Amino acid sequence: MEYAISLLPLLACPLLMGGMMWLMMRMNKGEAMSSTETAQSVVTDTASGDRLSQLRGQLGELQTRQAEIAGHIELLAAEDQATESQEPATVATPGSQPLPTRRPA
| Residue pLDDT, tens place only, 13-38 | 889 999 999 999 988 887 766 666 66
Domain count, the chain: 2
Query: Residue 25 sits in which domain range?
Result: 10-47
Give pLDDT < 50 ranges for the chain.
none
- Is the overall model pTM greater than 0.85, yes or no? no
105 within a domain of the structure (yes/no): no
Per-residue model confidence (pLDDT) at position 89: 53
10 alpha-carbon distance from chain centroid: 50
Spatial separation of the C-alpha atoms in residues 35 and 41, rounded to whole Å: 10
Per-residue model confidence (pLDDT) at position 5: 80
Whether 54 and 42 share a structural domain: no
68 within a domain of the structure (yes/no): yes
20 within a domain of the structure (yes/no): yes
Whether 58 and 75 share a structural domain: yes
Whether 43 and 26 share a structural domain: yes
Q: Which amino acid is at 37?
A: E
Nearest to 19 by CA among 7, 11, 31: 11
Share of the chain above pLDDT 90, in %: 31
5 within a domain of the structure (yes/no): no
94 within a domain of the structure (yes/no): no
By three-state DSSP, how is residue 26 classified? helix
Whether 38 and 53 share a structural domain: no
